[in-house]
Amino acid sequence: MIPNATHANPAPAENRPASPPSPATFSIDAFIPPEMAIKAENVGVKKATMGWRNTLALAVLAGAFIALGAVFATTVTTSAAGQLPYGVARLLAGLAFCLGLILVVVAGAELFTGNNLIVMAWADRQLPFSKVLRNWTLVYAGNFVGAIATAVVMLLTLQYTFSGGAVGLNALTIAHAKCSLGFVQAVALGIMCNALVCLAVWLCFSARTTTDKILAIIFPITAFVAAGFEHSVANMYFIPIGLLIKATAAPEFWAAIGQRAADYPNLTWANFFVANLLPVTIGNIIGGAVMVGLVYWFIYIRKGLTKA
């Protein structure tokens, strides 16, 4: 019997053709946290080195997707017959808002808050911080364009006049409340929000199927909305739609809801940018990049722990 040459003189590993995975290695188990950390780092590198055109286009989509979640949340929490119990309304808002992140994760888009996790790749010296800032800047700008564009389209639909103007009244109430927050309060609410958003994205790194991803998203996102935390990209829709309604609504709308534009004194463009978007964005970065991204880098990636 002639010995098998391949077994007798095996080729160096680097010269051997890759063999197909053995059926025995197939698994439907979720990825465990150390594997999730490696996956998150690799995804971060790809996101930060993507061409600017694709990055910006995907960011515009994400802004629109999150705005669609906000439209859904505003609509389902509108009650023409009277106010829903607070907890029930918040729960409904959270469940509806999940639409936004589900579209981002499953359909594919670039969301500023989720991209805060790119710091994991930077902390592991896979990226210079300039690449992280480039991604965040492009994505933040694209998210803003997508959310504002959606607000303009929604204004043209006159959907805010539905149910005798109750939808518009709800939109105005939400926007005015967001513009009435104190600076420190807005930062703190932003921290808590993006800790949960980035935990949702982190959980998605454990997923092997679309169903896994959707289930991973639902509870963290519902929790942040129900608790009243502040999301910078969502606010790029929630506040501008209120501002646009306030500036353009016909007298018939105001008569239908029994309100006047003057009843929303804090709802201004200045308050949108200075009193809400700025502090909420700061909070989102702290909650996502520091409290989730750097914490999981420290636990699973520093000093090659995932390779040990």
Predicted confidence (pLDDT) at residue 246 exceeds the cutoff of 60: yes
Predicted confidence (pLDDT) at residue 230 exceeds the cutoff of 90: yes
> What is the pLDDT at residue 30?
87
Q: Give the chain's end-to-end CA distance (angstroms, integer).
A: 43
Name the one residue in this structure whose structure tokens are 């959270």. Answer: 94
Cα 1 → chain centroid? 64
- Alpha-carbon distance of 79 to 75, in angstroms, equals 9
How far is residue 274 from each of residues 53, 113, 241, measured CA to CA in Å?
29, 19, 17
> What is the pLDDT at residue 84?
78
Q: Do the Cβ atoms of 256 and 164 come closer than 8 Å?
A: yes
Rounded percentage of the chain residues whose pLDDT exceeds 90: 85
What average pLDDT is seen over the chain?
91
Predicted confidence (pLDDT) at residue 8 exceeds the cutoff of 50: no
Largest CA distance in the chain: 98
What mean pLDDT is predicted for residues 1-19?
A: 42
Extract the tokens encoding 20: 């197909």
What mean pLDDT is predicted for residues 268-283?
A: 98
Tell me yes or no: is domain 31-307 CATH 1.20.1080.10.
yes
> What is the pLDDT at residue 179?
98
Q: pLDDT, tens digit, for every residue of 40-97?
A: 999 999 999 999 999 999 999 999 999 999 999 999 999 855 677 889 999 999 999 9
How far is residue 59 from each of residues 32, 86, 126, 138, 232, measured CA to CA in Å?
29, 33, 23, 8, 14
Rounded percentage of the chain residues whose pLDDT exceeds 70: 89
Extract the tokens encoding 259: 């309100």
Residue 156: Cβ within 10 Å count: 10
- Alpha-carbon distance of 34 to 307, in angstroms, equals 9
- Alpha-carbon distance of 125 to 304, in angstroms, equals 12
What mean pLDDT is predicted for residues 216-229?
A: 98
